[in-house]
Chain A
Amino acid sequence: MLQGLRFAAGALRESQASCQLIRPAVAAAQRPYHKNVVDHYENPRNVGSFGKNDANVGTGLVGAPACGDVMKLQIKVDEAGNIIDSCFKTFGCGSAIASSSVATEWIKGKTIEEVVTIKNSDIAKHLSLPPVKLHCSMLAEDAIKAAVKDIQAKRAAAGQAPAAVEEKMAATA
């Protein structure tokens, strides 16, 4: 019986090292959040929602089962493939909220081709995320990609050629 219990204790210690739901104020006493994280947590940019069914909106909905986080990132894309607006809604720890807030700021004004090159390491570096929170920035990277995939699928289904091809066709007409 004790042998089985030893295995269990080991598993429990490992699980306690992962994501925890703590507010930055409390966390400061235990492990201080970087000021960029606190900034994005207390003044998150672009919290909100666009209409899912809007033809120009791409929605990325991703989750991290390890800590029960869920992240929704949306983009409003013009015909040329530029992201003219973006918003997010994240339920999870401060690092996850901050990562998605940063992501929505960075992608505004870029094209959908450009934003899929944004790496989680860039976000993590900007927020000085500790190793145990790196998966939060990964979640944001995946959310961006999922939103782009969604808008591309919508446009393909609507029978539209990708914007770049369309422009080329118009130029050579």
Chain B
Amino acid sequence: MTPTRGQYEKGSRHTQRLQHETFDVDSKQLDRTFRQLQTRLHPDKLSSSVPEEQENAANQSAYVNGAYRTLKDPLARAYHLLQRRGRSDGQGGEGTIEDPELLMMVMETRQQIEEAESQEDLMALRHTNEAKRRDCIQSMSVAFGKEDLDLAEELVTQLRYLTTAGDAISLKL
């Protein structure tokens, strides 16, 4: 079905808006905007005694908290972006993967973490894991920049596993 001119323009504007949504985020700007919004919305700051208005502000304040957490965390941000671009796989999907290379690496890492005994060993593992996470996030930034969503999805899966490994290390430390 050929889109009408109105539909085409609307779709075009939507695409333009999407194009402005990058993976990269200015962390300081994000924090600043968050604080500004909370200053306006926080229920304690509202002088109005109208319960409806206060409830409204409380809801919006909650949304803003959730949104801040999503945008602050690279993994959550990446999932969110993929969803916005129509990748229903935004959560990594319900499915099972069998990528042998990735899964063997994950197994080995998790095994090393499990077997680690000393504080030093765990810190070393954390150091390595953090470096991998940084590289992965950097590659993800490039992938999103090029709109290479297939690659972005692969990297999101990798980041998911790196994050879980990081959590496992933290649990032991």
Closest to B84 in A: A7
In the assembled complex, how far is the CB of residue A100 from the closest CB belonging to chain B, in whole angstroms? 13
Binding-face segment, A36-44, A65-73, A101-109, A159-167: A65-73
* Contact indicator A15/B64 (Cβ below 8 Å): no
Interface residues of B (CB under 8 A from A): 21, 33, 37, 60, 62-71, 76, 79-80, 83-84, 90-100, 102-104, 106-107, 110-111, 114, 156-157, 160-161, 163-164, 167-168
Chain A contact-residue range equals 20 to 34
* Contact indicator A64/B70 (Cβ below 8 Å): no
Contact of B67 among A8, A66, A68, A72 (CB under 8 A): A8
Interface of B, helix, strand, loop or mixed by DSSP = helix
In the assembled complex, how far is the CB of residue B44 from the closest CB belonging to chain A, in whole angstroms? 19
| Those of A1-34 within 8 Å (CB) of chain B | 1-2, 4-15, 18, 21
Given contacts A64-B97, A67-B164, 16 further A-B contacts (CB under 8 A): A1-B33, A5-B63, A6-B67, A7-B80, A7-B84, A8-B67, A12-B80, A18-B91, A61-B103, A61-B107, A62-B103, A63-B161, A65-B161, A91-B164, A139-B96, A146-B98
Q: Complex formed: what's the CA distance from A116 to B151 in Å?
A: 32
Contact with B along A64-89 (1 / 0, CB 8 A): 11111110100000000000000001
* Contact indicator A72/B107 (Cβ below 8 Å): yes
Closest to B96 in A: A142
> Is A138 an interface residue when CB atoms closer than 8 A count as contact?
yes
Q: Can you list 7 A-B pairs, Cβ within 8 angstroms, ordered by A?
A: A2-B60, A61-B104, A65-B97, A67-B164, A69-B164, A70-B110, A146-B98
Q: Complex formed: what's the CA distance from A161 to B84 in Å?
A: 50
Interface residues of A (CB under 8 A from B): 1-2, 4-15, 18, 21, 61-70, 72, 89, 91, 135, 138-139, 142, 146
